[in-house]
Amino acid sequence: MNDELKQAAQRKASFGATMKAVFWSFFGVRKRKDYESDAARLNPVHVIIAGILGAVIFVTVLVSIVKLVVRSAAGA
């Protein structure tokens, strides 16, 4: 099992490709073929980092939208 983790961490997909895969996964619109190729070539460490980064960006955007709506509703 330890060798499998070392091999997975040595995968060569770029961080940009990982971010793209995570972005589309957030929307749930990945083709099975793309999912299988991602699973074979993406570095799991990059996937975790990209997922956390995507979640932070998503929450930040939602909080900003809520603040904007509350501010405009309070001013009206």
What is the average pLDDT across 40-56? Answer: 89
Six-digit token string for 62:
């939602």
> Please, what is the average pLDDT of the chain?
81
pTM of the model: 0.69
Task: Report the percentage of the chain scoring pLDDT > 70.
Answer: 83
Q: Is the pLDDT of residue 10 over 70?
A: no
- Give the pLDDT score at 8: 56
In our burial notation (b when 16+ CB lie closer than 10 A, e otherwise), range 19-35 reads bebbeebeeeeeeeeee
Closest CA to 46 of 4, 6, 5, 9: 9
